[in-house]
Amino acid sequence: MCSRLGSSVSSAPISGLTKENLFNVGSFVSLQLRNSCSPLKGEVLAHDPATRFLILKIPSIKGHSQSDIHMINLSLVMDFHILTDPTNSSNGSAKDYLPPLPNLNVQKLENRLKDSVEKKKRLIMGYKDGVSIEGQTLFRAICKT
């Protein structure tokens, strides 16, 4: 017989999931699946309430610096415990735990946009009135090289 999870963590029934008590990204949870004796413990990477799926990052058995990613159907979960929740911490929000976004090179993005627009304008020039289909095909072939 499988042992139950410890009583030192807060728990809620899996059928009681509502929009108010969903899994928060960054939370550490312990899940008991129907077909497994040992619970899965890891960090919540994503939660989709519409499809009732949870993506969990669990430390890998093979490597200390590696992690396994599990996609879990919440319909197969018997019981779960939220071990830590970043939104209930003293700092206040889960965004404190998310890594910062890298800086964007705006000049590089503007150059790419400008080049793309110029390329489209050159392609449109091949479709002017009075140009035969063979001429249009030849123009497109030359533009590609």
**What pLDDT is attached to residue 114?**
97
List, for residues 15-58, the tens digit of each pLDDT value. Answer: 545 444 567 888 899 988 888 888 889 999 998 888 889 999 99
Is domain 10-96 given the CATH code 2.60.40.10 in the classification?
A: no
pTM beyond 0.75: no
What is the structure's pLDDT at 115? 95
Residue 2: half-sphere exposure toward Cβ, Cα within 13 Å: 13
Which of 94 and 139 is assigned the larger pLDDT?
A: 139
Average pLDDT over residues 69-97: 74
pLDDT band for position 106 (cuts 50, 70, 90): very high
Give helix 106-125 / helix 133-144 axis angle, nearest 10°: 150
Tell me how far apart the 2 most distant CA atoms of the chain are, in Å.
82
SS3 of 44, please? Answer: strand
Average pLDDT estimate for 117-138 = 82
* pLDDT mean over 4-16: 42
Are the CB atoms for 83 and 41 separated by under 8 Å?
Answer: yes
